[in-house]
Chains A and B, each alone.
Chain A
Amino acid sequence: MEKLERAMPWLFVSGLLVVWELAAIGFKVPVFILPRPTVVAQALVLQWGPILENSWVTLLRTLIGFAIAVVAGGLLGVAIGSSRLVYRGLYPVLIGFNSVPKVAVVPVFVIWFGTGAVPAVLTAFLVSFFPIAVNVATGLATVEPELLDVLRSLGARKSQILIKIGLPRSLPYFFASLKIAITLAFVGTIISETVAGSAGIGYLMMAATANFDTPLVFAGLFVIAILGIVMYAIFAVAEQRMTFWAKRGDGMMV
Chain B
Amino acid sequence: MKPFVEISDVSLMYPGAGASETLALEHATLAIDKGEFVAVVGPSGCGKSTLLKLVSGLHAPTKGGVIVAGHEVAGPIKIVGMAFQNPIMLPWRTTLDNVLLPLEIVEPHASRFRANRASYAEKARTLLGAVGLDGFADSYPWQLSGGMQQRASLCRALIHEPDLLLLDEPFGALDAFTREELWAVLRDLWKARQFTVILVTHDLTEAVYLADHVHVCSKRPGRIVTSRKVEMPHPRDKYAPDFVALVRELHNGIAEVRAA
Is B239 an interface residue, CB under 8 A from the partner? no
Q: 1/0 per position for B142-164, CB-CB distance to A under 8 A?
A: 10000000000000110010000
Interface pair A154/B76, CB less than 8 Å apart: yes
Give A152 to B160 CA distance when docked, in angstroms: 14
**Cross-chain contact B86 with A153 (CB below 8 angstroms):** no
Bin the interface of chain B by size: 20 to 34
Rounded to whole angstroms, the CA-CA distance of A151 and B156 in the bound complex is 11
Q: How far is the CA of A171 from the CA of B91 in the complex (A)?
A: 12
Given contacts A160-B105, A164-B104, contact A154 B78 (CB under 8 A): yes
Whether A245 pairs with B88 at a CB distance below 8 angstroms is: no
Asked whether, in the complex, the Cβ of A154 is within 8 Å of the Cβ of B88, the reply is no
> Contact size class for A?
20 to 34
B 57-81 binary contact with A (CB < 8 Å = 1; else 0) = 1100000000000000001111010
Counting CB contacts under 8 A, is A95 at the interface?
A: no
Docked complex Cα distance between A152 and B76 (Å): 7
The reply to whether A152 and B58 form a contact with Cβ atoms under 8 Å apart is yes
Interface residues in A115-164 (C-beta closer than 8 Å to B):
144, 146-147, 149-156, 160, 164
Task: Please tell me if A248 contacts chain B, counting CB pairs below 8 Å.
Answer: yes
- Please name the residue on chain A nearest to B89 by beta carbon: A147
Q: B residues 117-145 with Cβ under 8 Å of A?
A: 140, 142
The reply to whether B82 and A153 form a contact with Cβ atoms under 8 Å apart is: yes
B77 cross-chain contacts in A, Cβ below 8 A? 153
Beta-carbon nearest neighbor of B143 in chain A: A248
Flag whether B92 is at the interface (Cβ < 8 A).
Answer: yes
Within 8 Å of chain B (Cβ to Cβ): is A165? Answer: yes
- The complex places the Cα of A151 from the Cα of B84 at a distance, in Å, of 13
CA–CA, A150 to B101, complex, Å?
10
Q: Across the interface, do B90 and A165 meet the contact criterion of CB distance under 8 Å?
A: yes
B173 within 8 A of A: no
How many angstroms from the CA of A155 to the CA of B107 in the assembled complex? 9
Report how far A248 CA is from B77 CA in the complex, Å.
37
- Whether A107 sits at the interface, judged by CB under 8 Å, is no
B104: chain A residues at CB < 8 Å are 160, 164
CB proximity to A under 8 Å, residues B80-120: 80, 82, 84, 86, 88, 90-92, 101-102, 104-107
A154-B160 in contact (CB<8A): yes
- CB of B101 within 8 A of CB of A164, answer yes
**Interface members, chain A 215-254 (any B CB < 8 Å):** 243, 245-246, 248
Q: Given A144-B88, A146-B86, A147-B88, does the pair A153, B56 have CB atoms closer than 8 Å?
A: yes
Closest to B106 in A: A154
Chain B residues whose C-beta falls within 8 Å of the C-beta of A149 in the assembled complex: 53, 56, 58, 82, 84
Q: How far is the CA of A171 from the CA of B57 in the complex (A)?
A: 31
Partner of A248 from B107, B142, B160 at Cβ < 8 Å:
B142
The interface centre, meaning the residue of A154, A160, A245 with most chain B CB atoms within 10 A of its CB, is A154
Chain A residue nearest to B55 in the complex (CB): A153
Partner of A245, one of B86, B91, B106: B91
Residue numbers in A under 8 Å from B80 (CB-CB): 153-154
Q: Collect the chain B residues with CB atoms within 8 Å of residue A168's CB.
A: 90, 92
Shortest CB–CB separation between residue B46 and chain A, in angstroms?
Answer: 19
Report the minimal beta-carbon distance from A174 to chain B, rounded to whole angstroms: 13
> Is A155's CB under 8 angstroms from B58's CB?
no
Q: Which residue of A lies closest to B83 (CB)?
A: A150
Q: How far is the CB of B192 from chain A (nearest CB, A)?
A: 22
Known: A149-B58, A153-B80, A154-B106. 11 other contacts (CB 8 A): A144-B88, A146-B86, A149-B82, A151-B105, A153-B56, A154-B105, A155-B107, A168-B92, A169-B90, A245-B140, A248-B142
Q: Point out residues on B near A: beta carbons under 8 Å.
A: 53, 56-58, 75-78, 80, 82, 84, 86, 88, 90-92, 101-102, 104-107, 140, 142, 156-157, 160, 166
Interchain Cβ contacts under 8 Å between A and B, 24 examples? A144-B88, A146-B82, A146-B88, A147-B88, A150-B156, A150-B157, A151-B101, A151-B105, A152-B76, A153-B78, A153-B166, A154-B76, A154-B160, A155-B75, A155-B106, A155-B107, A164-B101, A164-B104, A165-B90, A243-B92, A245-B92, A245-B142, A246-B91, A246-B92
Which 6 A/B pairs are nearest by Cβ-Cβ distance? A153-B56, A155-B78, A154-B106, A146-B84, A245-B91, A156-B105
